[in-house]
Amino acid sequence: MDQTSAAALWWAVIASGIYHGVNPGMGWPLSVSAALMEGRRAALGKALLLLALGHFLAMSAILLPFTLIFALVDWQREIRLGAGLLVIAAGVYLMINRRHPRALARVKPTRLALWSFLAAMAHGAGLMLLPIYLGLCGIEEAEPGHRAAAELMLSNLDISLGVAAVHTAAMTLSGGAIALGVYTWLGLKFLSRAWFNMDMLWALSLIVVGTLAIWTAY
């Protein structure tokens, strides 16, 4: 993979993180609520870190299995196609089923990391990263006889954790900036009256990303 393509994919990782961070469904309103309830700004930062931990674990849970699968160099196109179809299917499902998972409502407000993990999994957040990650693996030039499977898996493991970390950092910074602004200037009334729903846009984004993944596989 040339440096320009790799840089573009890493920017896509960052952009997706910013997109996830802006989406209130990924949890930044909860950090504002925590800070308002405790009456101190430090609670906002603590809540954001817990949300980031859960999000990172959810991203890793999606990417790491493909780290093992993508070591099968002979099947990389089929794997890319399957990943693209999986992302599209998730987008179509979320477009049809607009109910928020009831399990999220049962999670205690003090367990923000768990809530963040479940929310990211339920919304298919990790699937949006999957085609980008597979593109960064960039093993299409490698031949099965020239690189051992263990070497490929180790290389892909570093990439998957790097993608999850960079994406989560971008998400935390963008969501944290909004949360800080709301906490500092807008307050509780904004959270109760000015909620914006991105569910349809989110579902469409998954479909677009999945379609692009299938197109690039060819």
Whole-angstrom distance, CA of residue 13 vs CA of residue 120: 15
Average pLDDT of the chain is: 81
Nearest residue to 54 (alpha-carbon basis) of 156, 125, 130, 134: 125
| Residue environment code for 14-28, b if the CB has 16+ CB neighbours within 10 A, otherwise e | bebbbbbbbbbbbbb
Q: What is the pLDDT of residue 174?
A: 96
| Residue environment code for 59-82, b if the CB has 16+ CB neighbours within 10 A, otherwise e | bbebbeebbeebbebeebeebbeb
Residue 1: CB atoms within 10 Å: 13
Residue 99: CB atoms within 10 Å: 7
Average pLDDT over residues 152-165: 82
Nearest residue to 17 (alpha-carbon basis) of 156, 176, 159: 176
Q: What pTM does this model have?
A: 0.83
Average pLDDT over residues 71-95: 79
Residue 85 has pLDDT above 60, yes or no: yes
DSSP 196: -
Q: Which of 4-18, 47-61, 115-129 has the highest mean pLDDT?
A: 47-61
pLDDT confidence tier of residue 146, bands split at 50, 70 and 90 = very low
What distances in angstroms separate CA 128 from CA 26, 57, 65, 144, one per listed residue? Answer: 14, 15, 15, 28
What distances in angstroms separate CA 55 from CA 32, 113, 139, 146, 166, one per listed residue? Answer: 17, 8, 27, 36, 12
Residue 194 has pLDDT above 60, yes or no: no
Which pair of tokens denotes residue 155? 């290389």
| Residue linked to tokens 């990790």 | 126
